[in-house]
Amino acid sequence: MRVSVDRLRMGLLAGAGLLLLVIAGFLTYAHYRTHRFLKELPRKLGADIRQETNSFTWSQTVKGKTIFTVHAAKAIQHKNGKYAMHDVGIVIYGKGEGQDSRVDRIYGNEFELDQAEGIVRAMGEVHLDLQAPAASGGAVQPTDSAPAHDEDLKSAKLIHVKTSNLVYQQKKGTATTDQAIEFEYNGLTGQATGADYNADTGILLLHSAVKVSGLDNGKPILLTATHGELDRMDRRIVLAQASFVTSAREGGDRASRQTVESQRATAFLRKGGSV
């Protein structure tokens, strides 16, 4: 009987010790969670925000000429100096001989601005309205207004581009993306993967998987290439490993189609926009 009481006493002591260890563990974990919560609380409450501004505008002027303008309906500046911008429109003006009247636009819902580095990054879907090669006297006159599709653009021919995660580097005057691209111009629609846009020269490079289809002068066409370059100043398109298929009529059979292939092809745009 004595042995049983001693064993019971040892069991109770062991159980009490185990309970104390469990309680200590819970207290340690609770202390860790409380410390972490208090550490993250300022960020959750917006302590990282330095300034919040409605109708934010940032622009640069060189020798009395505006080079670009960034306008956001709302901008939140964080302590690291970067801005989170909402409902954004970027207006880019051409530079150099023959480029003074060119106006291109980039717009989207969410952007990040690093003003010190001159970098504007689209967070998701973004649109570009690029002024197409125009006939003499048909250029759109520069304006500082930011919203896309202004009255002065309604009558102009535009190259509409949709992509995502575009990065505009103000110091280099370039906008780049490695994402899928959709574009539309003069009744033609196309796709590609990746692009570089030079704001100074207005040249648009399509990295790969270029495909364009639609009607040209009433005839169905299909154009494919591994790489494309559009020079709007010279109204010239340069394509690598291009295949150009035309048909005498929509839905025509194989006999009515004509195919031209080339390792390197150059196409020129008329003033009216046709190839």
Q: What per-residue confidence (pLDDT) applies to 8?
A: 64
Q: Is 154 exposed, middle or buried (0-12, 13-18, 19+ CB in 10 A)?
A: exposed
* pLDDT range class, residue 131, cuts 50, 70, 90: confident
3-state DSSP assignment of residue 192: strand
Q: What per-residue confidence (pLDDT) applies to 166?
A: 93
Q: What per-residue confidence (pLDDT) applies to 109?
A: 93
Q: Which two tokens stand for residue 196?
A: 């570089």
3-state DSSP assignment of residue 239: strand
- Predicted confidence (pLDDT) per residue in 150-172, tens digit: 444 444 578 899 999 999 988 88
CA distance 225 to 86: 36
Q: Name the most confidently modeled range: 39-43, 94-98, 180-184.
A: 180-184
CB 153 within 8 A of CB 193: no
Mean pLDDT, range 191-195, rounded to an integer: 95
Fold of 51-268: lipopolysaccharide transport protein A fold (2.60.450)
pTM above 0.75, yes or no: no
Tokens 């340690």 correspond to: 28
- Per-domain residue ranges of the chain: 1-47, 51-268
